[in-house]
Amino acid sequence: MAAQTIIDRAKLLSFINGFGNNVEDLMLEVKNNRIFGAVDTTTHYCSKSMSVMLSNQVAYRPGKIYISDVAKVLTFLKASSQDLCILNQWDGSLNLKLGTDSLQLPSHTHIRSAATLVNANRAIEEMKENNYTKIGPAVLQVNGSVDMEKLRGLGTAVKVAGKDAPCRIKTSPTDSEMIVTVGHIVGGANVNRVIELGNVWGEDEVITHFGSHLPNTLACMNDGVVDFYVGNNAALILNHQERDTLLILKHQQGVNQ
């Protein structure tokens, strides 16, 4: 057996469901009495962790967990009313046990959402060493903090502007505001939200673009206050002040405005 732990079912459900709608598989790691997860996709990078439980009845074993079908695991967790879930990973098989029910899934180590994590994590470490002033070649000229509640509910704007509506975020240090525009700026419907920023630093305003996935992807971040870092035509980095959650929204080059 490679890994085993016991964990709160409802918290595990929320955790696995918190890496983005386009994530079909997931690699987790049990270590330091926590469970860690990360994904790197074409639209975003997300990493987070949560605590596990310790029990005399269930041996704690650190190691990797490979979820080859996220949808099936979520369905199984949602259908149960049990409080606790036992996770164990065997060679070629993942097992979840909820009371008298158990789910066994074939698993493999080739997880698509983790395929580029090594390079992504290297870039993030370099970003931290540079004090969040750049990621890769992209300069992050503006930083500040924002309550995630102000960025919620943008899904309605996508419905109004159209399912393929582009999203633009303009951040102005001078005006201490962030303006999120969903929809085509010229020749189409668009919805704007103005967010007042209590803390923001930088010289010039910056603009970056995303696809219509933006509202759903923002849901990966926990509620509460986050530090943000953004540059002109660069990624938007959100780092939670209290929770171990990092979300990087990748600038979508060529998104039609």
Say if residues 137 and 125 touch (Cβ distance below 8 Å): no
Domain 3-113 identical in fold to domain 119-249: yes
- Helix (H) or strand (E) segment spanning residue 118: helix 117-129
In degrees, to the nearest 5, what angle opens at C-alpha 103 toward C-alphas 97 and 104?
115
Q: Assess whether pLDDT exceeds 60 at residue 248.
A: yes
**210 pLDDT higher than 60:** yes
CATH number assigned to the domain with residue range 119-249, chosen from the 4 options 3.40.50.11930, 3.40.50.300, 3.40.50.150, 3.10.150.10? 3.10.150.10
Superfamily of domain 3-113: DNA Polymerase III, subunit A, domain 2 (3.10.150.10)
Phi, psi (deg, nearest 5) at residue 158: -65, -40
pLDDT above 70 for 98? yes
Residue extents of the structural domains in the chain: 3-113, 119-249
* pLDDT of res. 190: 87
How confident is the model at residue 68, as a pLDDT?
96
Asked if residue 108 has pLDDT above 50, the reply is yes
Q: Please answer whether residues 58 and 40 qualify as being in contact, where contact means their C-beta atoms are separated by less than 8 angstroms.
A: no
pLDDT at 69: 96
CA 29 to CA 193: how far, in whole Å?
38
Instruction: Kindly tell me if the per-residue pLDDT of 255 is higher than 60.
Output: no
pLDDT at 11: 97
User: What does the pLDDT average to over 213-221?
Assistant: 93
- For the packed helices 70-78 and 9-16, what is the interaxial angle rounded to 10 degrees? 150
Instruction: State mean pLDDT over 106-120.
Output: 95
